[in-house]
Amino acid sequence: MFPLLSNDLSVYIVEDLQKDIKELISDFPKEKIFLLCDTGSFKNCYPLVNSVLDLPEEQIVVIPSGDDNKNLETTQLVWQMLSTQGADRKSLLINLGGGMPTDLGGFAASTFKRGIKFINIPTTLLAQVDASIGGKTGINFEGYKNEIGVFQQASTVLVGKDFFKTLDQPNMISGYAEMIKHAFIYSEEVWNKLKSFNISNPNLSELEELVAESIRIKNHFVENDPTEKNIRKALNFGHTFGHAFESLAMYQKRAVLHGHAVAFGMICELYLSHQLLNFPFEEVKSITDTINSIFGTFDFTQADYDELYRLMTHDKKNEGDQINFTLIEKIGKIKINCTATKEQIFDALDFYQSAI
Ligand code: GLY
């Protein structure tokens, strides 16, 4: 495996999946190794690692897939396995799957006996470029996304194209949204590369290179501010509206993938960036067309505006009663800790509706 970063985030690109995993677990006795999957990763990804891990079924926990299962009940299943199987502080939890199992597994491991080591093997594009990198762990609670959690870095994150072969198209596109976000907060050059890449029919080797670049961008923001006191907030671009869209969809019992919600959120936050920081309007419109063509659109009406606003006021990124946004003056030039009035937020929702 190749080290991707020169710091202690310990992200590696897979060279040979079986060999690399064997190396990663070589310091742990077999009875101290535990595996977390969700039903999706157990079906599609576990077969690729089963023979090298070779774990008895008592050391494997499979939780139901889907963000609505990223909750306390499923976390308890992980703690129960660790506890009944005699896990101790020298044990290792391997989280195999998308952002849901890596977030939840990181949280379960970080809190079990005040913290055991965990390795993330993210199998979706979203988890590789974002969720599994940078130490945010957590679960949803009482309808709020990632309401309970801790910052704790995985001891290793192993990324690569092996698992993309079984990744469905909506999830592929969902991960692409976070790569686009990284481009917007970092450089026009990266955005131009992503614009011309065909994510609907991706060349997986080229995608792996773009993934590596995207992780390096994320690392640029995380390494000096791991607990999000300042510059890491750049990574929240698109997420204030995005999380509100995601929570609204969850209440309304319709599914929207995280990346899609962030893509729709980026349109609104680009419009706010235009209103508040003079981001060029022509560019807002052309990016909106590109995003609409990749991600489709999110349906809501004016009757949802108050609820979306209420959800934004509950966002954990807020300080005091101000809704906190990261906005951009131009691609690659971010401004953190922006606020907007209710009227400006509603204008951005109006813009979204007019542009779809
Ligand atoms: N997903 C944003 C972050 O890790 O900070």
Return per-residue pLDDT of the chain as tens, 356 residues.
Answer: 999 988 777 999 999 999 999 999 999 999 999 999 999 999 999 999 999 999 999 999 999 999 889 999 999 999 999 999 999 999 999 999 999 999 999 999 999 999 999 999 999 999 999 999 999 999 999 878 888 999 999 999 999 999 999 999 999 999 999 999 999 999 999 999 999 999 999 999 999 999 999 999 999 999 989 999 999 999 999 999 999 999 899 889 888 999 999 999 999 999 999 999 999 999 999 999 999 999 999 999 999 999 999 999 987 778 778 899 999 999 999 999 999 999 999 999 999 999 98
Ligand 1 atom nearest the C-alpha of 134 is 4
233 CB less than 6 Å from ligand 1?
A: no
Cα–ligand 1 centroid distance for 220 (angstroms): 12
Report the residue among 120, 124, 129, 130 best suited for mutation to probe ligand 1: largest number of ligand atoms under 8 A from its CB.
Answer: 130
Residue located via tokens 């009035």:
341
Provide the Cα torsion 189, 192, 194, 197; round to 10°: -130
Contacts of 207 (CB under 8 A, 6+ apart): 125, 161, 164, 197, 199
**Closest C-alpha to ligand 1, atom 2:** 235
- Residue-wise pLDDT tens digits, 61-105: 999 999 889 999 999 999 999 999 999 999 999 999 999 999 999
Q: What is the pLDDT of residue 7?
A: 77
- Residue-wise pLDDT tens digits, 250-286: 889 888 999 999 999 999 999 999 999 999 999 999 9
**Closest C-alpha to ligand 1, atom 5:** 235
Q: What is the pTM of this model?
A: 0.95
Q: What is the pLDDT of residue 65?
A: 96
Residue located via tokens 């009940």:
73
Q: From 2, 14, 3, 8, select the one nearest 222 (Cα to Cα).
A: 8
Contacts of 29 (CB under 8 A, 6+ apart): none
8 A C-beta contact, residue 320 and residue 292: no
Burial 305-344 (b: 16+ CB within 10 A, else e): beebeebbeebebeeeeebbbbbbeebeebebebbbeeee
C-alpha to C-alpha distance for 244 and 314, rounded to whole angstroms: 9
136 CB less than 6 Å from ligand 1?
A: yes
C-alpha to C-alpha distance for 143 and 344, rounded to whole angstroms: 26
**Structure-token pair, residue 67:** 């963000």
Ligand 1 atom nearest the C-alpha of 178 is 1
Q: From 187, 327, 315, 318, select the one nearest 270 (Cα to Cα).
A: 327
C-alpha to C-alpha distance for 328 and 311, rounded to whole angstroms: 22
Contacts of 136 (CB under 8 A, 6+ apart): 103, 106, 146, 149, 151
Q: Which helix (H) or strand (E) holds 225?
A: none
Contacts of 274 (CB under 8 A, 6+ apart): 280, 281, 284
For the residues of 287-324, what is the DSSP string, one character each? HHHHHHHHH------GGGHHHHHHHHHT-TT-BTTBPP
Q: What is the pLDDT of residue 144?
A: 80
For the residues of 95-135, what is the DSSP string, one character each? EEESHHHHHHHHHHHHHGGG--EEEEEE-SHHIIIIITSSS
Longest CA–CA separation in the chain, Å:
60
Q: What is the pLDDT of residue 223?
A: 93
